[in-house]
Amino acid sequence: NAGVTQTPKFRILKIGQSMTLQCTQDMNHNYMYWYRQDPGMGLKLIYYSVGAGITDKGEVPNGYNVSRSTTEDFPLRLELAAPSQTSVYFCASSFMRNEQFFGPGTRLTVL
């Protein structure tokens, strides 16, 4: 099993550009999550999903959108990139509320 995979690993965006961060898990987990982690800080939940077709806002959802059309995939969309969205983005999955498995992260810089 590959676990949780994220693409891309790194990305530089210009202000106002859009992009989609991809996340795929092959563990048949029903729960999936998106976090952002600013330098030296903890994890902030952006959005999460408890199953295909169901998504919910986390602590910091503004400026982001998600969809969950399949169990495996949970893409995160940034519509109008802003410098405040410079961060490391982690996707994670779990079976119910059990241990979360994290992907390797996407390091995003917005200039």
> Which parts of this chain interact with another protein (CB under 8 A)?
31, 33, 40-43, 45, 48-50, 56, 58, 90, 92, 96-105
Nearest in space to 23 (alpha carbons), one of 42, 53, 49: 49
Tell me how far, at minimum, the Cβ of 48 lies from another protein, in Å: 5
Which residue, 17 or 88, has its beta carbon nearer to another protein?
88
| Closest separation in Å from C-beta 1 to another protein | 15
Task: Give the separation between CA 68 and CA 53, rounded to whole angstroms.
Answer: 5
- By C-beta, is 51 or 83 nearer to another protein? 51
| Residue 33: closest CA among 98, 82, 87 | 98
Give least dist CB 64 to another protein, A: 15
